[in-house]
Amino acid sequence: MKRNRLGNSELYVSEIGLGCMSLGREKDKAMTLIHEALDNGINFLDTADLYDEGLNEEIIGQAIRGRRSDVIIGTKVGNRWEPGKEGWSWDPSKSYIKSAVKDSLRRLQTDYIDLYQLHGGTLDDKLSETIEAFEELKQEGLIRYYGISSIRPNVIREYAEQSNMVSVMSQYSILDRRPEEQVLPLLAQKGISLIARGPVAKGILTSAGAMKADKGYLGYGKYELTALHTSLLEGIDPLRDIAHTAIRYALADPTVATVIPGASSMEQLRHNIAASHASELTTEELKSIRRISQANRYEQHR
């Protein structure tokens, strides 16, 4: 599978990674999916400390035992869970980040994290303190690089200016083209990569996606989604799978280093992997997709 450099780092990630949030709590099944991914060229696994209250990291740690050098692990921090309290609280403080990383390392059964990401963020946070925490963790060898996971352009801009982050994880798909307006041009200018999550838009951009269109998606209503689905099936390339079209669309921008579709079954995983063998979209296909889809824009946090 093709690998792309992540920002200006020394990390080369498979163009299709594995979003591990949807693996579930059944350890044997989840580990089988991870092994299948690794055996088929995927080397980037994305998780977070809050997924299943840390169980997701634990499963990954067990699955990659003996294969650590073959894997690039991205995990996240900033959402704090405290026993006896309901839900998660936001905590991007230096003290919490430097404490939480040790728990992630323990669960992942590793002594370093390849990509440590802030799992959110607002302009009300003390950005300099958060950045200082990441920089110190790099110096201590506990993380190799850091990035943020955010869909807020104003936050992304500040980190792009003030930090040495190598990546931004953001939702990006044919149905959510918001990063094209501000985020992708900024990241390209700064040499920062986008990690695209949600490339098939909750399954809407799959062969069975018309059945999932009832609730709409961003600015799209049910009938608009149905019409777009039909156009993608019939108007782009009838021989190309619609999910593969969606994944190749996100990868068409050179700023995107990897897409991370989730998979809860072997069938889904293998189908995602097969997108790496699909031909890249042509200039005309990209123009057609942009013509029939909405160039949606961020309304808040600009």
Catalytic residues: 51
Q: Which residues contact 126 (CB under 8 A, 6 or more apart)?
A: 92, 93
The C-alpha atoms of residue 77 and residue 80 are separated, in whole angstroms, by: 8
The C-alpha atoms of residue 243 and residue 120 are separated, in whole angstroms, by: 27
Task: Report the sign of the C-alpha dihedral through residues 94, 95, 98, 99, in that order.
Answer: negative
Kindly give the interhelix angle for 27-39 and 266-274, rounded to the nearest 10 degrees. Answer: 20
For the chain, the residue count is: 302
Q: Which of 98, 108, 90, 120 is nearest to 54 (CA)?
A: 108
The C-alpha atoms of residue 231 and residue 229 are separated, in whole angstroms, by: 5
Q: What angle do CA 145, 166, 255 make, to 5 degrees?
A: 145
**196's tokens:** 């695209």
Q: Which of 48, 115, 113 is nearest to 77 (CA)?
A: 48
Q: Which residues contact 99 (CB under 8 A, 6 or more apart)?
A: none
Backbone angles phi, psi at 298, to 5 degrees: -70, 130
